[in-house]
Amino acid sequence: MPLILRAFPLLLLAFGNHVTAEETQPSVEETGHAIATVFLTPRHQPIEKTPEDYGMSYRDVEFLTRDGLTLRGWLVGEEADKIVIMTHFGYSANRYGYQLKYHPEGSRPYDKEIEFGKVARRLVDAGYGVLMYDLRNHGESDKTELGVGTGGHGERFDVIAAVEFVASQQQTQGKPIGLLSYCYGANTSFFAMEEDQSVFQSSGVKAMVALQPLSNGDYLKSLGVTQDVYDAVAKSYQARSGGYPFRANIESAAKSTPIPTRLVQARQDPNTNLEFIAELYNNIPVEKQMYWLEEPTHRFDGYNWFADNPRDMLDWFDAHMN
């Protein structure tokens, strides 16, 4: 089986830095199993900065999910009269962000650090408090029994727990809530609203900014793997994820969205399927707007976008949370 060169960084993560295009490659089944492992069990990254490093006051918080996991995070600027819940992207990220040094040379998908504290600072300066927390199996939050990512399916309970936490705390209850959900976190938010639409309506969630939702399946296809490898990955993933599909049907979940949603996507992102983005957007049944990022040419550029260009994000939240 020839190595798919566009997928080389992912395959390096799966097999180690010793794999080259000239070497004899493993079987389709072995390749599928190894790549599925990359999606299921991302590299762990420690949290090396706190909001204090960005000049923000905060307190450490913990809250329980409906399925019994403890999630850990920071509540920043809780004295503000409106709160944004920030849900990070998955697979090696955490509430702090994403650090290059924990990826081996040759397998780094990006060349810049991503620091969500910079985005939180933009929100705090604009009068918002921010809940930053780690999804299950990431950062300092609890691991599930299987310890694997599920593309947003199992993680849906994390977003629900975050909303219920903000709505129940003495300092934050009754305040309008916004969701800022990145990639895997956006998937998770759509699945959470499909799971329990009522909790978002009863808890005062007023708006969402969803940045670049993406299924595992669409991402892998963008790397150019052959269909037999894709099928092997999907089979291995589903067998080890607790039965969740590799290609999550996020666009269907979007039909349950009960809050005004701003969908954000880099138009030149090479790792997504723009037809999927269009279908997801069309399925959102409430007030919505599409915001195309025209300048970024790398998917991860979008993750840094609001740190330097917060105006559109703030305008959406201001319009629906004041």
Per the confidence metrics, is the pTM higher than 0.95? no
In CATH, 47-214+248-321 is 1.20.120.640: no
Residue 112, pLDDT > 80, answer: yes
Q: Is the dihedral of CA 117, 120, 126, 128 positive or negative?
A: negative
Residue 3, pLDDT > 70, answer: no
pLDDT tens for residues 26-56? 899 999 999 999 999 877 889 989 999 999 9
- Per-residue confidence (pLDDT) for residue 1, from 0 to 100: 32
**pLDDT class of 9 with cuts at 50, 70, 90:** low
- Per-residue confidence (pLDDT) for residue 103, from 0 to 100: 72
Residue 107, pLDDT > 80, answer: no
Buried b (16+ CB within 10 A) or exposed e, 222-239: bbebeeebbebbbebbee
Compute the distance between CA of residue 204 and CA of residue 202 in angstroms, rounded to an integer: 6
Residue 242, pLDDT > 80, answer: yes
Domain ranges of the chain: 47-214+248-321
Compute the distance between CA of residue 151 and CA of residue 249 in angstroms, rounded to an integer: 10
Q: In which residue are the tokens 């998908």 written?
A: 109
Residue 16, pLDDT > 60, answer: no
Residue 2, pLDDT > 50, answer: no
117 three-state secondary structure: helix
